[in-house]
Amino acid sequence: MICLPGFANSNWIFQKMFPALTPHFRLILPDHRGMGRSPTTTAPYSIADLATDARELMDALGHERFLVLGLSMGGFVAQHLVLAAPERVTGLALLCTTAGGPEFQRIFPVMSADQVRAIYLLEPQERARLALDPTLLPRLHAEYPALYQFLVEMRSRNPENVAEVMRQYEAVADFLAHPLPLESIRAPTLILAGEQDRLVPLENAELLHAKIPGSRLEVIPETDHMFFLEKPEATATILRDFLITASR
Q: In the chain, where are the structural domains located? A: 2-246
What number of residues does the chain have?
A: 248
What average pLDDT does this structure show over 138-154? Answer: 84
Q: Classify residue 240 by burial, with Cβ atoms within 10 Å: 0-12, 13-18, 19+.
A: middle
* pLDDT exceeds cutoff 90 at 144: no
Task: Say what the pLDDT of residue 41 is.
Answer: 97
Q: In this predicted model, which residue has the larger pLDDT, 103 or 137?
A: 103
pLDDT bracket for residue 35 (50, 70, 90): very high
pLDDT bracket for residue 107 (50, 70, 90): confident
- Percent of the chain having pLDDT more than 90? 82
Mean per-residue pLDDT over the chain, rounded? 94
Domain 2-246 is found in CATH 3.40.50.1820:
yes
What are residue 102's phi and psi, to 5 degrees? -70, -15
- Condensed to tens digits (0 to 9), the pLDDT of residues 63-101 reads 999 999 999 999 999 999 999 999 999 999 999 999 999
Q: Classify residue 155 by burial, with Cβ atoms within 10 Å: 0-12, 13-18, 19+.
A: buried
What average pLDDT does this structure show over 153-167? Answer: 93
